[in-house]
Amino acid sequence: MTKDMTTGSPVRLIISFAVPMFLGMLFQQFYSMVDTVIVGQYLGVDPLAGVGSTSSLNFMVIGFCTGVCNGFAIPVAQMFGAREESRLRRFVANSTWLCILFSVIMTLAVVAVCRPVLRLMNTPAEIFEYAYLYIVIIFWGIPCTFLYNLLAGIIRSLGDSRTPVLFLAVSSILNIVLDFVTILIFHMGVEGPALATVLSQGVSGLICLLYIKRKYLILKISHEEWKPDGKYMKRLCFMGVPMGLQYSVTAIGTLVVQAAINGMGTAVVAGVTAAQKINAFIACPVEALGQTMAPYTGQNMGAGRTDRIGKGLRDASLVGFAASAGCFFLALFFGRGLILLFLDAKEMQIIAYAYRFLLHCTGFYCLLTLVNTVRFTIQGMGFSVFAIISGVMEMIARVAVAVVIAGKFGFAGICFAHPAAWLLADLFLIPAFFYCRKKLEIKN
C-alpha cells in the first residue's frame, strides 16, 4: 500500500505519482465546478456572481487548511524515507491533535467575521446575501476539510497517490447528486450546493479514515504513540503553518483583486467567476506536478538521497512546461465552449470577459509550473518559511496590479494579476532553491 520514491527513475516516479494526483484534482474541481454550473444554469447570474465573489475568501481560509495538512504530511514522508516507523506514527498522531484544535478555532473565528469581510471586499449589494449564505456554510464545513486533507496527505506521503482518487470519485458523484436534489427537488438556493460540497467532502474523509484503519498496518498507532508531544507538535507547526500561511498570504492579494473586480459590476464578476472555474480545472496537470514534489522530496530527504532532488525538480518542470502548452491550446480552441457550461449563450459580454481572462491566465502557465514545482520542492526539503515569502511576493504583485494597473487600464489590467504574481514568485523561488540546496550540501 506504500511506494518508495527514493530509488528508480525520478521522471517515471514523478509522472506515475502525479497522474493519480491529477485525476484527484479533477474530482476536487467537480465539487466547485458542478456547483457553479448548476447555480449559473438554474439559479441565474446574480447567484452565480455571489458564489464567484467568495472565491478569494474561500481560497484564503480553505487554502490555509489544505496547506497546513500538506505541511503536516512532510515529516511523515521524511520518516517513511528514513524507515523510522515509530516516529512516523507519532507525527501522524500529533498532526491529528493539531488538526482537531485548528478546525475548532478556525471554524468559530471565520464564521464570525464572514459578513464584515464581504463588506470590506466591496461585494455588490445585489449579490451580497448570495455570497454570505454560500460561504458561511462552506466555512462551517472546515472540520470536513481538515479531515480529508490530513488523511489524504498522509496516504500520499507514503507514496500512494491513487487511493485518495477513488474516494474523491465517490464523493464527486455524491456531490453532483446532492446538487440536483437540493436545487431541483428541495428548491434551495445557493445554500444547496454549499451543503452538497461540505457533505461530500465529509464522506470522502470518513472513507479515508476507514480505509487507513483496515489497510495501513504501518499506521497502527499504539496508546503510547497517541500521547500529545510538544516536540513533535513544534516540528509539525514549523512545517505546516508556513505552508498554510503561504496560501492565506497569497489569497490576500486575490482578495484585493476580487474587490477590484467587484467594483467593475456584476457582468465582470460573473465572467471572471466562470473563467476562474475553468482555469482551476485546466491547471490540474501543473498543480499535480507541483504537489508531487513535496512527498518525493520528503522521502528522498529522509533517505539522505539529496542528489535526487535536483533531478526530480528538473524533470517535473520540463513535464510541466509541456503540459502548460497543452493547457493553453485547450483554452484557446475550446475555452468558449467550456464557458457555456456556466453561462447562457445570450450573455455575450460576460462570455467575452471570461474568455479574455482565461487566455491571459493559461498563456502564462509556464510561470505557474515553476511556482508549483520549485515551491513544493523547497517545502519538502524542510525550508517551509520560504513558502510564506513566496506568498508575499505573489500578494505584492496582485495588489500592485489591482491598485495601480487595473485602476488605469480597467479589466485589461485585471487580466495580468495572476501572471504578474507568478513571475514575481519565480524570481524569488528559483534563487531560494539553489540557496537551500547549498545549505543541505554544507550540512551533509
d(CA 383, CA 196): 37
**Burial of 267 per CB tally in 10 Å (0-12, 13-18, 19+):** middle
**Mean model confidence pLDDT for the chain:** 89
Helix (H) or strand (E) holding 156: helix 142-157
pLDDT of residue 32: 65
Structural contact between residues 239 and 384, judged by C-beta atoms closer than 8 angstroms: yes
pLDDT tens figures, 48-103 = 888 878 877 888 899 899 999 999 999 999 999 999 999 999 999 999 999 999 99
Distance CA 39, CA 134 (A): 11
pLDDT classification of 27: cutoffs 50, 70, 90 = confident
Cell numbers of 275, please?
A: 473563467
Residue burial 11-40, b: 16+ Cβ < 10 Å; e: rest: eebbbbbbbbbbbbbbbbbbbbbbbbbbbb
pLDDT band at 444 (very low <50, low <70, confident <90, very high): low
Q: What is the pLDDT of residues 190-249, one digit of tens each?
A: 999 899 989 998 998 999 999 999 888 899 999 999 999 999 999 999 999 988 888 888
Do residues 74 and 150 lie in contact, with contact meaning Cβ atoms separated by under 8 Å?
A: no
Cβ atoms of 27 and 172 within 8 Å: the answer is yes
CA atoms within 13 A on the CB side of 357: 27
pLDDT digits (tens, 9 = 90+) for 403-418: 777 667 788 888 888 9
User: HEC states along 78-116?
Assistant: HHHHHCCHHHHHHHHHHHHHHHHHHHHHHHHHHHHHHHH
User: Cα–Cα distance between 43 and 40 in angstroms, integer?
Assistant: 6
Indicate the pLDDT class of residue 45, thresholds 50, 70 and 90: confident
Residues 80, 218: Cα–Cα separation, whole Å: 10
CA 435, chain centre distance (Å): 26
